[in-house]
Chains A and B, each alone.
Chain A
Amino acid sequence: MQIPILKLKNILLTSIQSDMTDDDALKYQSDVVSYLEKSDAKGLIIDITAMDIVDSFMARVINETARMARLMGAKVVLCGMQPMVALTLVEMGRELIGVETALNLDKGFDKLLEMITEGVDDH
């Protein structure tokens, strides 16, 4: 399953679907970083609205994807985490450490634009 990566102005927009195998997740990760290089985008939005389960593997993939994008100079915002997903991640003792988050895509977009224009250091 291919996760679409959309470019909107200078932002890359990706929405991860729930039924993603581990291989799909790793493919997504490398797709994002190669698209980032080609597109010259300044920011990345990782939307997880459709994910009803985030286990430790997916948490790691999301975390690493954000770190990779940041190493390449992009700002990153994760948005749309479902309440039950937040609950299980905290109970499991896992956190998406160092990833800026927003409630939904709308707020995530605003936040990312702000980070890009102000050059805010997102860790």
Chain B
Amino acid sequence: MIISEKSIELHIEDDILIARKVARQEMADIGFGSADQTRMATAISELTRNVIKYAGHGVCHIITESTPSEIVIKVEIEDYGPGIDDINKAMEDGYTTGGGLGAGLPGAKRLVNDLSIESRPGLTKINLEMTRPNV
């Protein structure tokens, strides 16, 4: 099994671009197609923007694994901000506390098979995962 891990500190808007670029490259390296690369990079863009906007700073960990049978990308985005008050509400289309359209989190969930959120004041972790057969 080949494992690669990259961590991107999230402080400023430029870091959003870096995180999604790194994810796309890491995915391409182990054979994810361009549709999946775009899905994941777009989801990362939505979620890292939330970190910059609501928490100020955080980290995006990108882990890729390649075995003879499958390729996997796991992304963990964590921040140390105030946390998400009501996760169920935050997953609803159109719900926003920041003046946006409320499309970020529910949009990201639709793009990625697997999205989970843990949140309390001071620590929010969002995990994304995508697995495909290694062909």
A residues with CB within 8 A of B: 19, 21-23, 52-57, 60, 84-85, 87-88, 91-94
Contact = CB atoms under 8 A, between A and B. Distances in A.
Contacts of B101: 56, 60
Contacts of B46: 55-57
Nearest to A86: B38
B105 to A, nearest CB: 10
A85 B107 CA distance: 13
Nearest to B12: A21
B83 interface: no
Contacts of B49: 22, 55, 57
The CB with the most chain B CB atoms within 10 A, among A21, A57, A87, A92, is that of A92
Interface string B90-115: 00010000001101101110110000
A54 B103 CA distance: 13
Q: Which 6 A-B pairs have the closest CB atoms?
A: A92-B107, A84-B38, A56-B103, A21-B13, A55-B45, A88-B42
B110 A84 contact: no
13 contacts: A22-B16, A52-B38, A53-B45, A55-B45, A56-B103, A57-B45, A57-B104, A84-B34, A87-B35, A91-B39, A92-B110, A93-B110, A94-B103
A92 B24 CA distance: 18
A53 to B, nearest CB: 5
B104 A56 contact: yes
A22 B50 CA distance: 12
B51 to A, nearest CB: 13
Given A93-B93, A93-B110, A57 B42 contact: no
A19 B103 contact: no
B41 interface: yes
Contacts of B3: none
Contacts of B117: none
Contacts of A91: 39, 110-111
Contact of B107 (A22, A52, A94): A94
A55 B44 CA distance: 9
A21 B19 CA distance: 13
Interface in B76-135: 93, 100-101, 103-104, 106-108, 110-111
Contacts of A92: 42, 103, 107-108, 110-111
